[in-house]
């Protein structure tokens, strides 16, 4: 008896783990300045490495803070500081070779100025998916057993393959008249198209960058400035890459450069990291069941969960809200700047529509009639619906938000949230696969002619396995039977 196996490179998810990182400590204020009040604090969290060991997961990451503060004398200054973190998750011991992928999101953040440093308290939610690094080995043939019966399932599998990309340095001339200094800039980048460049090992990537900056004019007044820049650039890709392609852009740095003295034109400068992917689909056949009518052998099998990446869907949404001044704060003479950090609490798909709910953690800076600067926070709930007819999977929402402030009254402001949304399909299918065989006790079979009435969902294979006969013998006597029964079919079985 000889067993023959096949190996398939599949994205098999073994486990999904949720964990939380609690950070507490101080981050230094740069340039030796003392912070009296905090106007803005934009946090960024990233996982740098994920190391899966036999009984634990070790992660390293970084939490960066872009902050704008005032000194005791009222001077406005900005800086970027960071705090590294390490995290350990204990898992059940396993000798399997696993690969880990982790996403991190900031759930709560509390920052207080304390002179030469900022006191920091943060809660980071971490989602870790563990994948089998080795190919899936399945049994597809047993030589030496003439009546071996296999049931195979045909699957269409998509694979996400990185085929190119790189860093883009963009510089777009724009009007910066009246701006003497820029304290803080944030931005969103979205890719609107990717196409192959015929005859070249390149892809043309097009999209837009939106930059929002906290600026100061020559009189010392602060204001918000928003600029949008379109880009279309070529990036290298593999020679064997094929459409459809898609790209994901991440802003590594962005700034609005004010004009030089007596010159009205400045520039938006950005460094983008762009990854280009090909979505390759192939058909595979996996053994999902096995039996031998005349032998004393049975299948060794396991359940696997295959994660099938799909094409991301990009959408731009606009939401408008009016935010009231908290009770007890001085009235608004002029709104200056707003910043929003999105937290997604729900993402569900049904009938071609994906609904996303969450909160915009919104920071508002304003000036009073006496010229004093004040800031407050408000949690603004949001709900967005996106048409996703091409995908029946769950969707993970990754939003980026630019908020623009406008005056409303002495006790309220109007805010426009522009949400650049990327929806990543999460398609998973759990199936039973045959990985080997083992000996078992023989079952007694009645001899003669048997009439079997099929149940809904029965197949020729499942009936043959239940009655320990070959599928060929069922087909020989019942030539008009379908592969899958509706229920009630009369089947003659010769044993």
DSSP state string for 332-375 = PSEEEEEEEEEEEEEEEEETTEEEEEEEEEEEEEEE-TTS-EEE
Q: Which of 99, 134, 169 finishes a domain? A: 134
CA 418 – CA 369 distance, rounded (Å): 29
Same domain, yes or no, for 465 and 317? no
> What is the reported pLDDT for 73?
86
Which H or E run contains 461? helix 460-467
Answer whether residue 146 is part of any domain.
no
State the first-to-last Cα distance of the chain, in angstroms, to the nearest integer.
25
CA 73 – CA 77 distance, rounded (Å): 11
Q: Is the pLDDT of residue 33 over 90?
A: no
CA 124 – CA 129 distance, rounded (Å): 16
CA 328 – CA 20 distance, rounded (Å): 35
- Ramachandran assignment for 427, one of left (phi > 0), alpha (psi -120 to 50 degrees), beta (any other): beta
Answer whether residue 257 is part of any domain.
yes
CA 465 – CA 298 distance, rounded (Å): 11
Answer whether residue 4 is part of any domain.
no
Q: What percent of the chain has pLDDT over 70?
A: 97
Sign, Cα dihedral of 234, 238, 243, 248: negative
Backbone angles phi, psi at 262, to 5 degrees: 70, 10
Rg for the chain, CA atoms, rounded: 30
CA 366 – CA 272 distance, rounded (Å): 31
Same domain, yes or no, for 379 and 482? no
> What is the reported pLDDT for 82?
85
Answer whether residue 187 is part of any domain.
yes
Same domain, yes or no, for 235 and 354? yes
CA 332 – CA 309 distance, rounded (Å): 49
The tokens for 343 are: 């937290």
Same domain, yes or no, for 124 and 182? no
In 3-state terms the chain splits into helix, strand, coil percentages (rounded to 5) of 5, 70, 25
DSSP-assigned letters across all residues of 162-210: EEEEEEEEEEEEEE-TT--EEEEEEEEEEEEEEEEETTTTEEEEEEEEE
The tokens for 487 are: 């229920």
Neighbours of 217 (CB within 10 A): 14
75: confidence class by pLDDT, cuts 50, 70, 90: confident
pLDDT, tens only, 436-481: 988 877 666 667 788 889 899 899 999 998 888 889 888 888 888 8
Sequence-distant (6+) residues with CB within 8 A of 350 are: none
Q: Nearest CA to 365 among 226, 224, 227, 257?
A: 224
Give the angle 276-277-282 at the CA atoms, nearest 5°.
165
pLDDT, tens only, 149-181: 999 999 988 888 999 999 999 999 888 878 888
Total count of domains within the chain? 3
CA 350 – CA 394 distance, rounded (Å): 9
Answer whether residue 460 is part of any domain.
yes
Same domain, yes or no, for 375 and 408? yes
> What is the reported pLDDT for 264?
67
Domain of residue 219: give its range.
Answer: 158-279+311-427
What is the rounded average pLDDT for all residues in the chain?
90
Q: What are the distances in angstroms from CA 169 to CA 194, 254, 272, 454, 477?
A: 18, 10, 6, 66, 72
Residue, of 379 and 261, whose pLDDT is higher? 379
Same domain, yes or no, for 113 and 183? no
pLDDT, tens only, 359-375: 999 999 999 999 999 99
Half-sphere exposure of 449 (CA within 13 A, CB side): 5
Answer whether residue 152 is part of any domain.
no
Same domain, yes or no, for 485 and 406? no
Answer whether residue 20 is part of any domain.
yes
Same domain, yes or no, for 388 and 253? yes
Q: Is the pLDDT of residue 27 over 90?
A: no
Backbone angles phi, psi at 455, to 5 degrees: -100, 160
Same domain, yes or no, for 382 and 490? no
* Peptide bond connecting 365 to the previous residue in cis, omega within 30 degrees of 0: no
DSSP state of 128: E
Q: Which of 118, 134, 150 finishes a domain? A: 134
Which H or E run contains 464? helix 460-467
CA 190 – CA 250 distance, rounded (Å): 9
Mean pLDDT of all residues in 126-140: 93
> What is the reported pLDDT for 443?
66
Q: Which of 402, 427, 452 finishes a domain? A: 427
pLDDT, tens only, 390-408: 667 888 999 999 999 999 9
Same domain, yes or no, for 260 and 183? yes
CA 244 – CA 307 distance, rounded (Å): 20
Residue, of 389 and 107, whose pLDDT is higher? 107
> What is the reported pLDDT for 200?
80
376: confidence class by pLDDT, cuts 50, 70, 90: very high
The tokens for 311 are: 């094409």
> What is the reported pLDDT for 184?
92
pLDDT, tens only, 54-69: 999 999 999 998 889 8
CATH number at residue 474: 3.10.350.10
Q: What is the pTM of this model?
A: 0.85
> What is the reported pLDDT for 300?
92
Mean pLDDT of all residues in 99-128: 90
Same domain, yes or no, for 182 and 115? no
Same domain, yes or no, for 401 and 349? yes
Q: Is the pLDDT of residue 420 over 90?
A: yes
pLDDT, tens only, 181-240: 899 999 999 999 999 987 788 999 999 999 999 999 888 899 999 999 999 999 999 988
Neighbours of 367 (CB within 10 A): 18
Answer whether residue 306 is part of any domain.
no
> What is the reported pLDDT for 446?
65
Neighbours of 252 (CB within 10 A): 11
> What is the reported pLDDT for 445?
66
DSSP state of 236: E
Which H or E run contains 474? helix 471-477
Q: Is the pLDDT of residue 388 over 90?
A: no
């Amino acid at each position: 008896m000889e067993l023959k196996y096949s190996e398939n490179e599949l994205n098999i998810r073994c486990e999904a783990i949720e964990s939380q990182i609690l950070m507490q400590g101080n981050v230094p204020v740069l340039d030796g300045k003392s912070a009296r009040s905090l106007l803005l604090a934009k946090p960024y969290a990233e996982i740098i490495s994920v190391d899966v060991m036999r009984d634990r997961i070790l992660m390293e990451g970084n939490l960066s803070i872009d902050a704008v503060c005032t000194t005791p004398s009222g001077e406005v200054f900005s800086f970027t500081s960071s705090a590294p973190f390490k995290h350990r998750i204990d898992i059940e011991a396993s000798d399997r070779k696993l690969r880990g992928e982790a996403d991190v999101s900031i759930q709560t953040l509390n920052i207080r100025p304390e002179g030469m440093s900022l006191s920091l308290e943060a809660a980071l939610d971490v989602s870790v998916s563990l994948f089998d690094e080795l190919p899936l080995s399945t049994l597809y043939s047993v030589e030496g057993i003439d009546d071996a019966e296999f049931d195979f399932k045909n699957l269409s599998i998509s694979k996400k393959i990185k085929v190119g990309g790189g860093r883009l340095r963009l510089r777009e001339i724009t009007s910066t008249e009246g701006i003497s200094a820029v304290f803080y800039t944030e931005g969103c980048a979205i890719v609107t198209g990717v196409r192959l460049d015929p005859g070249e090992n390149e892809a043309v990537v097009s999209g837009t960058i939106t930059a929002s900056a906290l600026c100061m004019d020559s009189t010392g007044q602060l204001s918000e400035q928003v600029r949008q820049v379109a880009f279309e650039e070529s990036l290298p890709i593999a020679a064997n890459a094929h459409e459809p392609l898609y790209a994901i852009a991440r802003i590594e740095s962005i700034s609005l450069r004010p004009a030089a003295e007596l010159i009205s034109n400045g520039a938006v400068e950005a460094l983008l990291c762009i990854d280009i992917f090909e979505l390759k689909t192939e058909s595979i056949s996996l053994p999902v069941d096995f039996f031998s009518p005349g032998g004393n052998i049975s299948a060794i099998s396991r359940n696997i969960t295959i994660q099938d990446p799909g094409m991301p869907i990009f959408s731009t949404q606009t939401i408008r809200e009016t935010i009231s001044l908290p009770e007890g704060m001085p009235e608004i003479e002029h709104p200056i700047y707003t910043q929003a950090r999105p937290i997604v609490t729900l993402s569900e798909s049904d009938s071609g529509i994906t609904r996303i709910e969450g909160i915009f953690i919104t920071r508002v800076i304003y000036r009073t009639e006496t010229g004093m600067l004040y800031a407050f926070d408000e949690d603004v709930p949001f709900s967005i619906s996106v048409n996703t007819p091409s995908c029946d999977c769950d969707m993970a929402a990754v939003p980026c938000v630019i908020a623009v402030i406008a005056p409303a009254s002495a006790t309220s402001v109007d805010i426009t949230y522009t949400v650049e949304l990327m929806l990543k399909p999460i398609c998973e299918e759990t199936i039973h696969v045959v990985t080997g065989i083992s000996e078992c006790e023989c079952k007694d079979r009645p001899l003669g002619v048997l009439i079997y009435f099929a149940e809904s969902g029965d197949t020729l294979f499942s009936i043959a396995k239940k009655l320990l006969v070959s599928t060929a013998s069922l087909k020989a006597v019942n030539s008009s039977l379908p592969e899958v029964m509706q229920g009630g079919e009369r089947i003659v079985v010769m044993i």
